[in-house]
């Protein structure tokens, strides 16, 4: 099975996914990690199969500052909401330019993208692969999820991907937060999947069971 992981080029965006990347590789799957050039190089030095796609974090940060010249006058509690659009949304549009053709050539069976990396979902849509969201920490509160949906909508519209926002929100969400920090059962979505190790032993919910895609499995690499 070919699994494509995609993340923004930052330690806090990639490191949470690396345990799953290593586990997938140990299980015998073909794994690739797509991120910005600087982080792709650092991961490659440590033995990961990487794709350098999109802008560096420094380039994205410069564009974010140019798009938000009056940020100093904005209340701090609104900064993250603005960053999701100006930093992560804008960089995803450019990242997808590189990521989509690479994915179309490689044909992953599954795409795993972190919470604010939107190009992975676009690539999954283009190749017809299932995709899941990998958490970066505790689940986002409802107001921030609404901002996230708006940012995704802007990115997906530019890539002519109607309905992809709802598809991402309905896809499995891999929660890595400790049990004590997880939201109550009444607030969990139907696709919430606990991934952090606990003493609890239970069967995974239906949404977390192995995903399937039509057609025979591919065993050769390009």
Q: Is the pLDDT of residue 110 over 50?
A: yes
Please give the structure tokens belonging to residue 171: 């896809």
Q: Is the pLDDT of residue 51 over 90?
A: yes
Between 136 and 112, name the one with better pLDDT.
Answer: 112
Helices (H) and strands (E) in the chain, counts: 9, 7
Q: Is the pLDDT of residue 188 over 70?
A: no
Question: Where does 2-208 sit in CATH, by number?
Answer: 3.40.50.2000
Q: HEC states along 44-74?
A: HHCCCCEEECCCCHHHHHHHHHHHCCCHHHC
| pTM over the 0.85 mark | no
Between 61 and 174, name the one with better pLDDT.
Answer: 174
Domain ranges of the chain: 2-208
Q: What is the pLDDT of residues 206-220, one digit of tens each?
A: 444 444 554 444 444
Whole-angstrom Cα Rg for the chain? 17
Q: What is the pLDDT of residues 111-122, one digit of tens each?
A: 999 999 999 999
């Amino acid at each position: 099975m070919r699994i494509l992981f995609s993340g923004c080029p930052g330690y806090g965006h990639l490191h949470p996914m690396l345990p799953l990347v290593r586990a997938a590789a140990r299980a015998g799957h073909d794994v690739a990690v797509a991120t910005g050039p600087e982080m792709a190089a650092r991961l490659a030095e440590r033995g990961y199969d990487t794709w350098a796609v999109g802008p560096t974090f420094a380039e994205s940060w410069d564009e974010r500052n140019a798009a938000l010249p009056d940020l100093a006058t904005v209340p701090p509690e609104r900064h993250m909401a603005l960053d999701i659009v100006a930093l992560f949304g804008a960089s995803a549009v450019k990242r997808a330019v590189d990521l989509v053709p690479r994915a179309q050539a490689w044909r992953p069976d599954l795409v795993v993208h972190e919470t604010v990396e939107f190009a992975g979902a676009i690539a999954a849509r283009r190749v017809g692969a299932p995709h899941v969201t990998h958490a970066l920490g505790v689940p986002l509160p409802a107001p921030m999820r609404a901002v996230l949906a708006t940012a995704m909508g802007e990115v997906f519209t530019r890539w002519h991907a109607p309905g992809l926002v709802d598809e991402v929100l309905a896809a499995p969400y891999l929660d890595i937060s400790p049990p004590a920090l997880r939201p109550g059962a009444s607030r969990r979505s139907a696709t919430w999947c606990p991934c952090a190790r606990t003493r609890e032993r239970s069967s995974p919910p239906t949404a977390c069971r192995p995903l399937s895609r039509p057609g025979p499995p591919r065993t050769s690499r390009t």
